Amino acid sequence: MKILASLFILLVVIAVIVLSSALYTVSEFEYAVITEFGKPVRIVTEAGLYWKTPFIQKVSRIEKRILSWDGDPNDVITKDKKNIYIDTLARWKIVDPKQFYVSLKGRIPNGMKKLDDIVDGVVRDVIGRYQLIELVRSTNRELQYEVEEVGAAKRPEAQRIEVGRGRIMEEILTQAKQGLEARFGFELLDVRIKRVNYTESVRQDVYNRMRSERNRISERFLSEAKEQQNIILGDKEKELASIQGEASQRSAEIRGEADATVIDIYAKAIRQAPEFYRFLRTLEAYRNSFDSKTVVILSTDSPFLKLLKEGDTTPTEGGPAPLP
């Protein structure tokens, strides 16, 4: 009995091993390539549970979903001799798993390397036939600038777009995908230019040109501001001169009116008290003629001394006191 039990257990183990080697599953995300001594004998494209010859046939699984390829930036020269970096990406899919297995051993990294060679070469060839402006723009839509002066400076030299970036990418895709399915078993679905940039030396030249352009615009603004400043200062000086002229004229008029009033007052005073006026004028003459250092020799009959010699000794009410 023990021998039969052991034999039964052995048969069960062998059956499990055989079944595990003979049965396999395929998911909806993959192909299965059944190989026999390294050669593909059957391709499974639908998901499910399948049977293979145990220990002889092997299952190689290949991705069915869309795959992404991201290339390294390449140094490319455009038709107008601009040295630029082009960074591209692509989407591809395995459509013939048998051919993919035979040509690239069913390995995704081998497909990536093939795309490196094919796409990079086509990108370099196609871009070399077009000017840079065709690569960075897709339409002739008028560009909008932050500073209107920059736009005004750029518009006269604007170039017309004949092809555009979109059609260039289509041309790259058309050329790159030719013969891929027959040779390698995969299809190139899309190619996109992810980034376009100048090389370092060209980039510095572009930055310097941008700086000089901005400096030129700032100088123009400063010149216009200086012109406006001069206009405002000129208007101010003109208005100030006008105000000062009017003020001087008005001052002269007031002074003339005051002088006329003074003369009128003097005339009235003279008419009312001529003797008193002569007396004041004589005193004023004395004050202007004599000081501590002046020596004057006059005769006794000099009219200039008349007041001193003939002054009234009796003071009148409100009149000047007699001189000694």
- pLDDT above 90 (res 113): yes
Tell me the per-residue pLDDT of 214-242, one tens digit each, with 9 for 90 and over.
888 888 888 989 999 999 999 999 999 99
Of 205, 209, 208, 214, the C-alpha closest to 84 is 205
Q: Rounded to whole angstroms, how far apart are CA atoms 74 and 196?
A: 10
**What are the tokens at 232?**
């405002």
Of 106, 108, 110, 127, the C-alpha closest to 191 is 127
**Other CB atoms within 10 Å distance of the CB of residue 130:** 19
The pLDDT score that the predictor gives to residue 323 is: 39
In this prediction, residue 157 has a pLDDT band, given cuts at 50, 70 and 90, of low
What's the pTM value of the predicted model, to 2 decimals?
0.58
Paired with 74 in beta bridges are 86
**What are the tokens at 18?**
């055989």
Q: Are 57 and 33 in contact (CB under 8 A)?
A: no
In Å, how far from its chain's centre is CA 89?
Answer: 28
For the chain, which residues make up each domain, given as ranges?
2-63, 67-198, 273-310
**Total H helices, total E strands in the chain:** 10, 9
Of 92, 23, 35, the C-alpha closest to 61 is 35
Q: Are 178 and 171 in contact (CB under 8 A)?
A: no
Q: Are 106 and 151 in contact (CB under 8 A)?
A: no
Q: What is the mean pLDDT of residues 69-89?
A: 87
Per the rule left: phi > 0, alpha: psi between -120 and 50, beta: everything else, 37 is: left
Alpha helices (H) along 273-294: 274-289
The two beta strands, 83-94 and 74-77, are antiparallel
With the C-alpha atoms ordered 139, 145, 149, 154, is the resulting torsion angle positive or negative? Answer: negative
- pLDDT above 60 (res 296): yes
Residue where the block lists tokens 């003071």: 315
Paired with 198 in beta bridges are 84
**What are the tokens at 107?**
């390995």
Tell me the per-residue pLDDT of 165-212, one tens digit each, with 9 for 90 and over.
889 999 999 999 999 999 999 999 999 998 888 777 667 777 787 788
- pLDDT above 50 (res 136): yes
Q: Among the listed ranges 161-175, 272-286, 299-313, which one has the minimum average pLDDT value?
A: 299-313
Quick one: angle between helices 274-289 and 200-272, nearest 10?
A: 130
CATH topology of domain 67-198: Tetrahydropterin Synthase; Chain A (3.30.479)
Beta-carbon contacts of residue 188 (< 8 Å; ≥ 6 apart): 90, 91, 92, 115, 119, 173, 176, 177, 180
The pLDDT score that the predictor gives to residue 138 is: 74
Q: Rounded to whole angstroms, how far apart are CA atoms 54 and 17?
A: 9
What's the chain's length in residues?
324
The pLDDT score that the predictor gives to residue 16 is: 67
Q: Are 57 and 36 in contact (CB under 8 A)?
A: yes
